[in-house]
Amino acid sequence: MAVTAAEDLRHVSAILVVHDGALWLPQVVASLTSQNRLINQILAVDTGSTDSSVALLKGAKIPVLSLDRESGFGDAIWAAIQTLPAPTSPENEWLWILHDDCAMHPEALEKLLEALEQKPQAIMAGPKLLGWHDKSHLLEIGISIASDGARWTGLEPREYDQGQHDGVHDVLAVSTAGALVRRDVFVELGGFDPNLSLFRDDVDFGWRARVAGHSVIAVSEAKGFHAQAAASERRSADVKEAFLHRPLLLDRRNAAYVLLVNSSWWMLPWVVLQLLGSATARAIGFLLAKLPGYASDELLALATLVIHPRELASARKFRKSHRLLSARAVKEFIPHRRHQLRAGVERLFDSIRSTLLPTVEQTSTALDPLNEDEDLLTPATTGRWWTIFKQPKALAGFAILILIAIWSRHRYGPLVGAALVQTPEGARDLWRMYFESWHQIGMGTDQSAPAWIAVVALGSTILFGKASLFISLLFFLAPLIFMLASFRLFARITSHNWLRVTASFLYAISPVAVASINSGRLGTVVTLMLLPYIGLLISDWLTIEHSSWRKIFLLSLVLSISFMFSMQVFAYVLVATLIISIIDFVKYGNIRYFHQRLARRLTLVIAPLLVAIPWSIQTILNPKNLLLEPGLAIAGGGPNFALIANPGGTGALPWWSLSPVSLVLFVALFSSTKARVISYFGSGALAAAVLIGSLSISGHGNSSPVRTWTGSLISIATICSVAAGILVLDRLREVLVVTNFHYRHILAGLLVIVTTLYSVSTISWLVTAGADSPMRATDSKILPAFLGVEDGVKTLVLRQVKINDVNTMQYFLARSHDVLLGEPDISPPESPAVTNAIKEIADGTGISASKVLGRHGIKYVFAKSPTNKEVVRTIDGLGGFVRASATGAGIVWKVSNAYSRINFIDTSGKVSEILSTSVGSRTQIYSPGTILLTDSYSKYWKVFQNGQTLERTKDENGFTQFSVTEPGEISLLHDGTNRRGLLSLQFIFLVTLIVLAAPAGRRRREMSESELT
């Protein structure tokens, strides 16, 4: 039975603010008239509604006060108060503030009044707000504001109401939807701030009430169902203060306003920094989600406040006049940054989980068929753990893990050997190498560090800076990643579980996979990992005009990583694009969709190059580098091995372990299915591998020409072969059963036999001889420890290497440490003078060899064991070399009168050392002379003295020198402005490509009401 007003001394006036609310008003009005505790007076304030809201209100016999359409929510409440009769008992006069999109539970008003009776110090109470559509969805039970301006409810996303927050709680503020406030206090505090016409007026009022000594409570037994129409952009923000009528902009502006006018003055600098930082971060997030309008809202919100400083000053002055307590009194209600961070991380993980593991809702209805024989009391059968072995994918996974454990038994630890050099200690060293403009490698170089260094550095950073751990895990888990990645691709081709599992397993132990892992070919390993994903995105290459631009940009992003690790992939994509574009032009002519195809294919070629600048441009200008992969240039197997899809070289499978890759490509050429088209691409890659494999080139720390490694091209041929084989075998059994015996039966039988023999022979080889690979875990180093004490000192390392059963002497220049990851890729060309001096040492005629080496700043010569005794005797007999040590690691000689890295030569010819940092130097010069750098010449070396730049010249040895005409302090540095500019351009291209490839976010108005509420 409804409680009459006479039974309660408190007088409740309900003020319903309406703005185009016809969609929700019928339920809202019905909820007011059905309250258990009757409302003493109801007054509706319409702010220029253009729908049927006013008619609905008049039909319900509710008085309506009309205001302009640009009137704010606070203006509407204040106008209604002025219309209401004067209170007879101020402490018993209450205002029930209502929204036109919030329906109240019949017991809402009654429960609010009961809670206020239990807590007489409270002057404002608010209900528990639930969703309009999903009435179990918990929206708010009291609100606060985070230090970055975010609206804080303390609830999890999509949290359901299960009574976990029930009770009467002291809060900073409550929503104006359904808030019950004492009229005299509301008027005394000035009502809602007129500068907050919409959004955040509730938090501001609650804050002001708190510091005025009042209490605000949230009552869970009182319930309201809120559609949040304005916040979800279901209706426009027409208030005068809404710049451009954008709800998010107004919300962010008002949030910043609340913090700036209510916070303590000494907290303002920190508040401003947090607002700027959070607004910038959110703007970047919206840009990545392709929502530039929301991004501009974040930044414009602060700008609209900055241009009105008097407004902020006036608001702070007004609050000061009503403040009884310090602003710190609300500290307990402001969420701690730790809680904000935890909530943000939880939302991130929830988003990732919902993306990767989408839930499928299963519902049952009364219309579902009944099984009368089903016994509800029969216990449900549960799957046994051993049934997992009946799943082909699980069996293959266990098999590959066991194979990895045995095959990699010598690779548990930091890896080095063959093409893979020593990994730096941490990710910081890799980042430093990538960003620096000058590298102390060999005689020094200003070449751009390869782009793949940044990728490895990023992966190492994720593993807490452990670069060696990242490389070790990459090679250790490579076969498993090959199998899992290719399984996703092959699942698109066939529905036969055993066929795609077998195919992915064969891809993981293909000849190119085995050779690349055993010989430390980082570029080919990454290529093998990325090719299945490239195949998933490039499945409609011939009719590429049907692919969306977002898919094209996503594919470009994946290709950019592939190009960074292997420019052979770039060369293949470029040639394939040219050939197919020419064929399309000849076949179809200059028509519209030819241009669409050409534009998309050129994007796949050009966009990845832009992401990798300046390294990509530098590589293209030196075509030889298109064929080289990361690491030392170690010989491949040549064209004969390439013909059987085996890259050859050290660590590769023996020739007698024939894989079916080439055979499948040949058979697929005669297929009538899509396998023929795939085989064209695979055969082209294999033909290119045979051709390029016959070439011999030098580079990447190897001065002797060696057979080119064609692992990436063979990788393309391999995945095309496996995919074509799946298409051929997918329905071959059904075809062979219904046809007479002919060549197809023979080819199928031959293919099965070759595949079986290859699998058995490969696995047997991997667990025996194959495990003894040249790349292994080792702590051994080439340079003795004492040669690394002096930073950057040049040491000439002589090694005796057997090539084609012939002992030859090779050398390299070390700079206080062994060769590190990335250094071979940017090693400078060998100095002809140094090379000639070494030849003279080898043939015993190097009388002036020590002077040449000393002039180049080489202080030590180290002959690595096993040494050539004749060369050792020659060095001992030549003048200028003093033996410093002889250990089991080798013999060290010190070069007499060797120059330092940075030298000062005065006018009398006296040479003195200038101490240097890792790159430059800063010191005092006491006389005129010449500053000489015994490093390779670079036009970016600069010396500043007395505010002027000294003249730079090149001496007869190709070194950089500067003329000093007067004493004074000098600063030597390598100008990296050009490098930083190009890296900035690279960053812009990368971010642009990521934004274009990312899925577009949806505006709130594009979401359904059920999604939002």
**pLDDT single digits (tens) 513-532:** 999 999 999 999 999 999 99
The pLDDT tens digits for 922-945 are: 999 999 999 999 999 999 999 999
pLDDT band at 367 (very low <50, low <70, confident <90, very high): very low
pLDDT in tens, 227-282: 988 887 777 777 766 666 788 888 899 999 999 999 988 888 899 999 999 999 88
Residue 319 pLDDT exceeds 80? yes
Percent of residues, the chain, with pLDDT higher than 70: 92
CATH of domain 5-241+314-347: 3.90.550.10
- Count Cβ atoms below 10 Å from residue 387 Cβ, excluding itself: 9
Q: How confident is the model at residue 385 (pLDDT cuts 50, 70, 90)?
A: low
- Pairing outcome for strands 929-936 and 959-964: antiparallel
Which range is least confidently modeled, 376-385, 569-578, 879-888? 376-385
Q: How confident is the model at residue 163 (pLDDT cuts 50, 70, 90)?
A: confident
Count of other CB atoms within 10 angstroms of residue 343:
19
E strand or H helix at 97, and its extent? strand 93-99
The DSSP element (H or E) to which 968 belongs, if any, is strand 968-974
967 CB burial (10 A radius; 0-12, 13-18, 19+): middle
Please report, for residues 16, 384, 885, the alpha-carbon distance to residue 842 in angstroms, rounded to integers and kept in the order given: 99, 72, 20
3-state secondary structure of 179: strand
If pLDDT is split at 50, 70 and 90, which confidence band does 345 have? confident
Burial 667-683 (b: 16+ CB within 10 A, else e): bbeebeeebeebbbbbb
- Can you say whether the dihedral through the CA atoms of 855, 856, 857, 861 is positive or negative? negative
Average pLDDT, stretch 810-834? 90
pLDDT for residue 360 is more than 60: no
- What's residue 377's pLDDT? 45
Give mean pLDDT, residues 650-664. Answer: 93
Nearby residues of 189 by Cβ (< 8 Å), 6 or more positions away = 205, 208, 209, 212, 322
What pLDDT digit, counting tens, does each position of 825-846 carry?
999 988 889 999 998 888 888 7
Tallying the residues shown for the chain, one arrives at: 1013
Bridge partners, residue 105, by sequence = none
- Is 466 or 699 the better-scoring residue by pLDDT? 466
| Spatial contact of 500 and 550, defined as CB atoms under 8 Å apart | no
pLDDT at 26 over 70: yes
Closest by CA position to 143, among listed 103, 193, 203: 203
pLDDT at position 380 is: 46
Taken in order 174, 179, 184, 186, is the CA torsion positive or negative?
positive
Per the CB < 8 A criterion, the answer to whether 885 and 784 are in contact is yes
DSSP at 130: E
In this predicted structure, what is the pLDDT of residue 53? Answer: 92
pLDDT at 947 over 90: no
| Exposed / middle / buried, residue 973 (Cβ in 10 Å: 0-12, 13-18, 19+) | middle
C-alpha triplet 136, 141, 142: angle, nearest 5° = 160
Give the separation between CA 146 and CA 140, rounded to whole angstroms.
15
Contact call for residues 925 and 945 (beta carbons, < 8 A): yes
Residue for token digits 């390779």?
A: 936
Domain ranges, ordered by start, for the chain: 5-241+314-347, 523-628, 781-895, 902-975
The pTM assigned to this predicted structure is 0.81
Q: Do 218 and 125 meet the contact criterion of CB atoms below 8 Å apart?
A: yes
Cα–Cα distance between 631 and 701 in angstroms, integer? 9
Of 179, 233, 211, 235, the closest CA to residue 50 belongs to 235
